[in-house]
Amino acid sequence: MITNPERFMIVAAGSEGNHTLTAFDNCLLKAGIGNVNLIRLSSILPPGCQEEEKGIDFPPGAFVPTAYGSINSEEKGELIAAAVGIGFSEDSFGVIMEHAGRCSAESAGAKVEEMIIEAFANRGQALKSMKIKSVEHRVEKAGAVVAAVALW
């Protein structure tokens, strides 16, 4: 059976932890997707998918299809960032792009914007609008950032 998600949420968070994995886990908790199993997906938002700005209380352990970019670091003082964006067409599917790196949130967001524009040009589709979320974090001990689009 093939099903299409009907709703999505776009989130971004940065956090610290004693270890990079716990810092990443803290990011997921802050973003509202921490008690689920993320199923990583590529870059297409199904037609008609509606944004849910409040998010949802997923059942613990639920499998949630998610496009995301993340990075972690243990380099004290390092600036890390992640961004995710969705390009929307007039009457078809959307395209999701994400980026994470050792940069500012502004730089990560600009890269995502460039990739969305390129993705629509590659498809020969008109780009109606974009929605981008980004986050940055200055590492203290073990830091992480994540930017994600969760679909259900």
The single residue of 70, 98, 134, 136 carrying the catalytic annotation is 98
Please say if 73 is a catalytic residue. no
The single residue of 35, 43, 92, 104 carrying the catalytic annotation is 43
Please say if 98 is a catalytic residue. yes
Please say if 42 is a catalytic residue. yes
Q: Per-residue DSSP letters for the chain?
A: ------EEEEEEEEEEESSHHHHHHHHHHHHT-SSSEEEE--SEEPTT-EE-TT---PPTT-EEEEEEEEEEE--TT-EEEEEEEEEE-SSS-EEEEEEEESS-HHHHHHHHHHHHHHHHHHHT----EEEEEEEEEE-SSEEEEEEEEEE-
Please say if 53 is a catalytic residue. no
The single residue of 42, 53, 90, 122 carrying the catalytic annotation is 42
The single residue of 4, 6, 37, 140 carrying the catalytic annotation is 37
Q: Give catalytic residue positions.
A: 37, 42-43, 98
